[in-house]
Amino acid sequence: MIAYAARLAAAATLVFSSGLLAPAQAADDTTVNIYSYRQPDLIKPVLDAFTKETGIETQVLFINKGLEERVQAEGENSPVDLILSTDISRLVNAKDMGITQPVESEELASAIPAEYRDEEGNWFGLTRRGRVIYASKERVDTDEMDYADLADEANRGRICIRDGQHSYNLGLFGSLIARWGEEKTEEWMEGLRDNLARRPDGNDRAQAQGIYSGECDLALGNTYYVGLMQTNEKEPEQQEWAKAIKVIFPTIGEYGTHVNISGMALAKHAPNAEAAKKLMTFLASDEAQRIYAGQVFEYPVKDSVPASDIVKGFGELDADDLPLSDVASHRRAASEMVDRVGLNQGPTN
């Protein structure tokens, strides 16, 4: 089974804590098999804490693309118990593809705010990141902005972004459609396009680099990339990029900053479902929230759990309380809008 599934996802990398992932077998509640979009070294500390507390081992298969398709192809013979994902669109996609199953748990419902979990219990958020504005410390005086300001003519030629079709940007655009409607959002996107300093390119770190080099003054980026750059000892130039920017948490009018999540879902044919549910409950605990969110430079989904010192340094996250399922429902419209206005072609004048 594994050999067959490996051909479906050649990019998968196996990382294990107690042995190789095995084909589906009778549940024994001693192991949880995990397929993860998140790098194994980032989730290892929280999984080690779970094993220490419960005695249940975990085995992780890292898949950087096509995770949902792989699980669907494996069907009833899939060894996966728990899916760990890094984006709301992937969680919703997993549910829509029929590869998850609902979990009824008072502990999860009370621990995780309603806007960060599926109303039918098919997925649950674990950590949050803001889609914020990186701004030049030297060339941007304000510390407060609205997303609407990115389309203001005063910012003509000052903005850098990554590919408009990237899931992080589509999430933001989807939230704006939910709050503003399609007509206003399209007008805004046209203004954003014409305010770009260049065609969209690179990742979020590349946008900070653009500010450092003077190519742009403002950029869209996720909060956690700031932590990744600040602590990158292997590539110290990224630390310089981080020093060149400040983080502005923009609002959507009266609403807060758009957020995305990492999250979890119980696989439909989980052979060790009860053990997986124990892990899900643990991941929603205060201890696990602190460990996991600190490791990935994100904000816990639970407001009662403080962020790490590095994350606190970004600033206070006043998150928009729009249910992320609503955001996901507008992502197709957002994608079509990106193409319609030619956002990825860059400014028109």
- Going by the annotation, the residues of the binding site for Fe cation are 224-225
Both tokens of residue 259?
């957020």
Alpha-carbon torsion 144, 146, 151, 154, what sign?
A: negative
Question: DSSP state, 136?
Answer: E
C-alpha of 183 from chain center:
27
Both tokens of residue 143?
């510390």
Q: What is the DSSP string of 264-333?
A: EEEBTT-TTHHHHHHHHHHHTSHHHHHHHHHHTT-EESSTTSPPPHHHHTT----B----HHHHHHTHHH
Q: Are 334 and 131 in contact (CB under 8 A)?
A: no
From its phi and psi, is residue 270 left (phi > 0), alpha (psi between -120 and 50) or beta? beta
> In Å, how far are 15, 33, 141, 196, 293 from 172, measured between CA atoms?
32, 32, 24, 17, 21
Q: Which residues are annotated as a binding site?
A: 224-225
From its phi and psi, is residue 75 left (phi > 0), alpha (psi between -120 and 50) or beta? left
Q: Are 150 and 192 in contact (CB under 8 A)?
A: yes
